Amino acid sequence: METETLRPEVKVKTLVDNLPTIAGATNTVLIFLKEVIHEESGTVRVSEFDHIRLNPHGGFTPDHLYRLLRGQQVPFSQSLGVAIASDIDAKLARDNLLREPLFVTVHVKFIKKRRLILPPPPPPPVLPAPSRGASREVLQRLAKEQRVEPMDLGEESESDNQCSICFEDWYKCYKKNIIEMPQCLHMFHQQCLFEWLRRQNSCPLCRSVPYE
What's the CATH number where 179 sits?
Answer: 3.30.40
Higher pLDDT among residues 40 and 165, named by residue:
165
Same domain, 105 and 145: no
Residue 157 has pLDDT above 60, yes or no: no
Concatenating the DSSP letter of every residue in 122-154 gives PPPP-PPPPPPPPPHHHHHHHHHHSEE-GGG--
pLDDT for position 148: 86
Across 153-170, average pLDDT? 72
Q: Which domain holds residue 88?
A: 3-116
179 DSSP 8-state letter: E
Classify residue 206: in a domain, yes or no.
no
pLDDT for position 32: 95
CA 165 to chain centre: 48
At 1-28, the pLDDT tens digits run 576 677 788 899 999 999 887 778 899 9
Same domain, 76 and 145: no
pLDDT for position 158: 47
At 109-143, the pLDDT tens digits run 999 888 877 788 888 887 666 668 888 999 999 99
Classify residue 61: in a domain, yes or no.
yes
pLDDT for position 119: 82
Same domain, 148 and 83: no
Residue 67 has pLDDT above 70, yes or no: yes
CA 142 to chain centre: 52
Residues ≥6 apart with Cβ < 8 Å to 83: 10, 12, 14
